[in-house]
Amino acid sequence: MTQLKHNTMVSQNAYSDEDLLKNLPGFTNHYATVNGVRLHYVEGGTGMPLVCLPGWPQTWYSYHPVAAELAKTYRVIIIDIRGMGSSDKPMSGYDKKTMAVDVTALVQQLGLAKVHIMGHDIGGMVAMSFAFNYPQFTEKLIVLDGSHPGEGMLQMPLIPAPGTFTEKMDATMPYAWWMGFNQVKGLPEKLLEGRFQYLLDWLFHYVMINDRRMSSFEREVYASFYNDTESIRAANAWYQTFLQDIEDAKTYEPLAMPVLGIGSYISYNYMKMGLPYVANNLQMIGILDSGHYLFEEQPAQVLEAVLNFLG
C-alpha cells in the first residue's frame, strides 16, 4: 500500500459514517444491495418516507443541517447515490436513468409504496429521473439547485464572458468550468488524489455567498470521501453521462405530481424558466440570499419551504 493510499484510508476512518452519525441522534446506518450495487444510506424519523439524494462533491452528510427537523415529521432516508461516499463505485451505470433504478429498487426493497423525493445538485437530477420514470412511486418531488440535464447544457460557454469570472459566481452569466473538467477521463484523478481539499475550498468560496457557513469539519469530511482515485472517477462519471441523460429526457412526459423547485441566487432564474416545461404542477421558491449549498447557508429557509410544500 502506498503512503498516499494509507493516509487516505486513515482520513476516511477519521470521518466514518458511524462517527458522523453521532452528530445526528436518532439516525442509523444501513446498506442494501440493489440493481447490482451496494448502496449506503442513513435513516431516521417516522411517517411518510422522504428520500433525500445529495450532490457533488458531498455525501449523505450534506443533509445534516436539516435532517433532524425533517425527521420530526417524516421517515427520512438519505442515500449515498451510486459512486458517492460509502456506496459502490462501479465502472458504469452513472446515467441518471440507471441511478433512478438504484433508488427505486431500494424503495421496493424497503417495502415502500410511495415516497416524497428530494434532491440537491446531481441528486436533483436523479430525483427528477426517478419521478419521470417511476411516477407511481412518487408522491411529491423537490429539487434544489439542480434539475434533469437538458439540451441547454450544450450552450454552456467554454470561455467566460468578459467581467463575469470573478471570485464569486455570476448569476447572469455563470461560468461552471468544472462541468468540462469533469468530462476528462483519467486526468482529474491524477491531479486531485490526496488534494481534493484544494478544489473544495475554491468551489465553496466561488458558489456560496458566505462560504464560512461550510465549516472546516464539513470540508474535511467531504475531502476525505473524494481524495482517492476511485471516488473522483465515479463522481466525474455523473457528468460524463450528461449526453445520455439529455437523450433520455427527450422521451419523458411532463411530471404530473406536485413539484417544488428551490433555487439559490445562481440557479433560481434558470430553474424558473426550465422547470415549467417538464412539470405541470410546479411551485418555485428563490432563496436569493444563498449560494449553491443551501442546506449550509440557509437551512431555516429550506426547512420552511420543504415543510410547507410537503405539509
CB neighbour list of residue 27: distance below 8 Å, 6 or more residues apart: 21, 42, 43, 44, 67, 71, 76
Active-site option among 17, 80, 88, 121:
121
239 catalytically annotated: yes
**Angle formed at CA 120 by CA 115 and CA 125, multiple of 5 degrees:** 75
Residue pointed to by grid coordinates 431516521? 44
Q: How far is CA 30 from CA 18, 86, 108, 126, 311, in A?
A: 10, 10, 15, 20, 27
What angle, rounded to 10 degrees, do the helices at 3-14 and 216-226 form? 130
CA-to-CA separations, 258 to 135, 143, 231, 255, 278, in angstroms, rounded: 11, 11, 34, 8, 12
d(CA 158, CA 243): 17
8 A C-beta contact, residue 241 and residue 99: no
Residue 219: which of 196, 236, 190 has the closest Cα?
A: 196
- Clarify whether 64 is annotated catalytic: no
Task: State which H helix or E strand residue 60 sits in.
Answer: none
- Chain center to CA of 132: 17
Which of these is catalytic: 74, 94, 206, 239? Answer: 239
Active site positions, annotated: 121, 239, 292
